[in-house]
Structure formats: structure tokens, C-alpha cells
Amino acid sequence: MKNIQFSGHDTVALAEQYGTPLYVMSEDIIRDRIESVKKAFEEAGADYEINFAGKAFTNIAMCKIVDSEGIALDAVSKGEIMTAQAAGFPMDRICYHGSNKKASELKYALENGVGLIVVDSEDELKKLIQVTDELDQDVNIMFRVSPGVEAHTHELIQTGTQDTKFGLPYSLAKDIIVSANAQPHISVVGIHCHIGSQIVDEVPFIAAADKMISLYQDIRNDGVDLRAINLGGGFGIPYLEGDEYFETLKYIPKLVAHVRTICADRDVPMPKLIVEPGRFLVCEAGATLYTIGTVKEIPGVRKYVSVDGGMNDNPRPALYGAEYEAVVCNGKESEKMEPYRVSGRACETDTLIDSAMLNQPQVGDILMVKNTGAYNYSMASRYNRYPIPAVVLLSGDRSAVMVERESYEDLLSHDRVPDWLK
């Protein structure tokens, strides 16, 4: 009757030690994933850079892991930049991304030595020019471009189509970029695209690369010394057993060879290739542990288990129908697998998993939901005034808190009462 293990640790023991709901992250898996991407590029002989997409999972300890691996950080907000600063992360290895940046945020990035800014729009460029003029400071930038490529993924996580809030329209990009590079403090060093998330087919990635290389060539022909193409991330991982997934480590050498051939045919310099994996590096490195509080059978209809978390700590099923697998962690004398709907405790329908095959779940058992390392903690909310769970990091046989559990006092700490209500 052995309990379920995660990254070499007894999950029931982790739940007893740290409480539930609990995010658990494996440093060993994260480092292995980072090293595998490095190896794929190095064996392909490419000039490359890996930017960890911090939006997937960011905190001070995670920034220290990224720093120690020698890769860059893709930050999309002042808060993510400040988190990296608190970790002592080198500012020149931060790529400041995101849409609709404020002038004050751009100024903060420049004053604190952020190495690269990805400009998302003409209006953002105007703000950046004004800030660089005020500070009399030079900056290296890339432009995000929407290549008009449709990736076969959920419509809410497609980001590279023609109709998108992100980036410059492909047809307008060249003129805007050439004009920007003529500004006194602006150096355009590359172009960027990101076509979506959880993509399992290499065809749209190659199509996007083709379009970006054509744009790269056109801009260079107009006198701009572009040196890099950032092809984003979005590499799909298997959330469920049998899911299609993107074979990232096989794709990288194909991508390098494809770009090398095209550049040779067109007699243009091979650019540095940049990728932004987030989910690929951390998703399968994470799990969430819950305590089962209710087991309910509606005769002839369905069986339910309800846990002490839900859409607060994992909003993805509610946002776009994301699917997960779960397992009862407590050892059982026998196996009797039956379908259960796994429900959260928020005052909504709050279905975490519509139908999970579980082995004799009982009140008090620990339930583990797999593959929750990406976009779970980072999207967590305080709906119904439930505190955000703790995050525990596993490394070898060690475990320690990397984010403290939020207290109920924390929930109240920013409330204020106007004078007329006192």
C-alpha cells in the first residue's frame, strides 16, 4: 500500500508536512528540461538563446534557478522584473515583453538596465522614444510581429493570426521597423513572433519561421543590422495520457537546418535563433495536492469528489476547457477504478476534471492533479477570499517552501474603510 510518489517524494507526506492545497515543483525536472533544450541547439551548431517565459511560473527562487542555468528571462511586467531583481538576476539577461506597456514601466526598465525590450505596437514605440529622449539613454529593441499564421490550438491561445492584439501587422512591419531604427537612441537588433500556446504540430512553427526570415531579409536590405529572430514558444506538452505533444527536442535541429538552408539560398547571414519555452520547462515539473473533503454519489447520474482547492488555484479548465489527470495518492489494498467528477470549492460549478478515473477516493485522502507547473500558480486568484496556496520546491531528497501560503490576514491587509463608513 505504497503512497504515490512525485519526483522521488511521498505525496501524502508532503501534504501532511505543508498542508493543502499545495503546489509542488521539481527543480530536478526543470533543470533537466533546460539542459535538454541547450543540448539540442548546441548539437545543431546554432547561435541561440533560451528565454524562459516567466509568465508560466515566476517567483524569486525560480529566477535563481533560471540564472544558475545561464539562460535569459522573458518578463512581461514590472512585477516580474522586480521579482528578478530580488533574485539578483542579471538585468542585461532580461527581455521585457508584453503588450500595452506604460511609459513609467518602460522608464523603470531602462533605469534598471534591462537588456532588451520587445516593442509591441507603434504607440508603444512612441512612448519608448519619448522615454529614451528624456533619459538620454540608448536601448536595444525587437519588434513583435504578427506573421498571420494560424496554429491548431484553442482559439483563446492563438496569438499569431492576422486578427490579434499582439504585435505589428506583418504588412506594416518593415516600414515601421526601418523608421524606428533611424531614431537617435533606438537600435533594432531583431524581430519576434509568437503564434500561440500548446501547439503540437511543427508546420505552423516552420511557416512562421519562413515568414520571419523573409521579413528579416527585407529589413536588412533596407540597411537595418538585424541579428536575431525570436520565434517564441508554445511547444505543446501532453496533459493526458495519449495526448499529442510537440517533440521539441526533435524540432530544434530541424528548425536550425531549415533556417540555415534558407539563409544560404538567399545569401543573408544566419541569425541568432531565440526561443521562449515556458510551459515546456515547468508544466510537467509541477503537481497540485488537494485533500478530498466530500465524496458524493447521485444514483444513476454521477459520482463526485470535492477538494479543498479549485478554480482559484487552477483557472485553466474554466478559462478554456483545459484537461488534467488526477490520482488518489493514498495507498490502497486493491484497485477499483471508477469515473468521478473532480470539483473545487468555489461558489461556481468549478469543475477541475469532468471525469477522472480514481481508485476508491475517500474523505481525507490526498488527490494529486498532474502537470500543473505552468499557468496555475501564476494565474491563481483570491475568488471567494480563499488564500493562494503555498509552493514547495523539491530538489533531490530535499523539500522547502519557495512561496509561503497566503494567510487570511494577508487577504485583509489591503482593505481600507472610507471615512464616511466608519
Q: Are strands 186-192 and 139-146 parallel, antiparallel or unpaired?
A: parallel
Is 278 flagged in the annotation as binding?
yes
* CA angle (53 as vertex; 49, 57 as ends), nearest 5: 140
Grid cell at residue 79: 512585477
Is 341 flagged in the annotation as binding?
no
Cα–chain center distance at 403 = 17
Task: Tell me how many helices (H) and strands (E) the chain has.
Answer: 12, 20
Candidate list 63, 283, 329, 347, residue with the active-site label:
347
Grid cell at residue 251: 524540432
* CB-neighbour burial class of residue 281 (10 A; exposed 0-12, middle 13-18, buried 19+): buried
Please state, in angstroms and rounded to a whole number, the distance separating the CA atoms of residues 411 and 101: 28
Q: Which of 162, 145, 114, 132 is nearest to 219 (CA)?
A: 145
In a 13 Å sphere around the CA of 356, the CA atoms on its Cβ side amount to 25
Is 320 flagged in the annotation as binding?
yes
Please state, in angstroms and rounded to a whole number, the distance separating the CA atoms of residues 328 and 372: 16
Is 276 flagged in the annotation as binding?
yes
Transcribe 307-342 into DSSP letters: ES--TTT--HHHHH-----EEE-S--SS--EEEEEE
Please indicate whether residue 263 is annotated as part of the active site.
Answer: no
95 close to 141: Cβ distance less than 8 angstroms? no
* CB-neighbour burial class of residue 10 (10 A; exposed 0-12, middle 13-18, buried 19+): middle
Q: How far is CA 152 from CA 213, 217, 238, 371, in A?
A: 22, 27, 15, 21
313 close to 389: Cβ distance less than 8 angstroms? yes
Is 316 flagged in the annotation as binding?
yes
* CB-neighbour burial class of residue 100 (10 A; exposed 0-12, middle 13-18, buried 19+): exposed
* CB-neighbour burial class of residue 65 (10 A; exposed 0-12, middle 13-18, buried 19+): buried
63 close to 80: Cβ distance less than 8 angstroms? no
Is 148 flagged in the annotation as binding?
no
115 close to 95: Cβ distance less than 8 angstroms? yes
Is 155 flagged in the annotation as binding?
no
The residue written with cell numbers 454519489 in the block is 297
Which positions make up the binding site for pyridoxal 5'-phosphate?
234, 276-279, 375
Which positions make up the binding site for substrate?
279, 316, 320, 348, 375
Which positions make up the binding site?
234, 276-279, 316, 320, 348, 375
Residues carrying an active site annotation: 347
